[in-house]
Amino acid sequence: MAREILFRAAVRTGVAVTLVANQPMKTPAARNIDALQVGGGFDVADAEIVKRLAPGDLVITSDIPLAAEVIEKGGHALSPRGEMHTAENIGAKLNMRDFMDTMRASGVETGGGPSAFSQRDKQAFANSLDRFLTQHT
């Protein structure tokens, strides 16, 4: 899972990692790894992430609207499958997401969501994270 890769990278590099969610999360006992539990509600965790974000920070997310906000604020957004969201590609991803939402809302069957997280996804994430950390730390 991407979280374990992220934890190993944080311990190895000393980079600070903060997990934000509306439920409790277990994290390794490391000074540079924290978990922040926020209240429940629609996009409460996303709003907290954006609020705390500093330019240059990396956010791991599969949420396209959150990725767009991160990029707009000067951060970097990486999917758990290893795809870097950028200013150049986020607009098309938002458009496709909105199109698929419209299709589902009108009753069209769209395929049931993403495929299971595979070994290939895990490797792509690890490689992308390592590249990012090499370039930005």
Q: Identify the CATH number of the domain in which residue 92 sits.
A: 3.40.50
Measured in degrees and rounded to the nearest 5, phi and psi for residue 123 equal -70, -40
Measured in degrees and rounded to the nearest 5, phi and psi for residue 36 equal -120, 120
Is 14 inside a domain boundary?
yes
- pTM for this prediction: 0.90
40 to each of 17, 62, 64, 109, how far by Cα in Å? Answer: 21, 19, 20, 29
Task: Please give the chain's pLDDT, 137 residues, in tens.
Answer: 799 999 999 999 999 999 999 999 999 999 999 999 999 999 999 999 999 999 999 999 999 999 999 999 999 999 999 999 999 999 999 999 889 888 888 888 877 677 888 999 999 999 999 999 999 98
Is 90 inside a domain boundary?
yes
Is 113 inside a domain boundary?
no
Is 77 inside a domain boundary?
yes
Range of the domain at 51: 2-108+118-136
- Give me the number of domains the chain comprises: 1
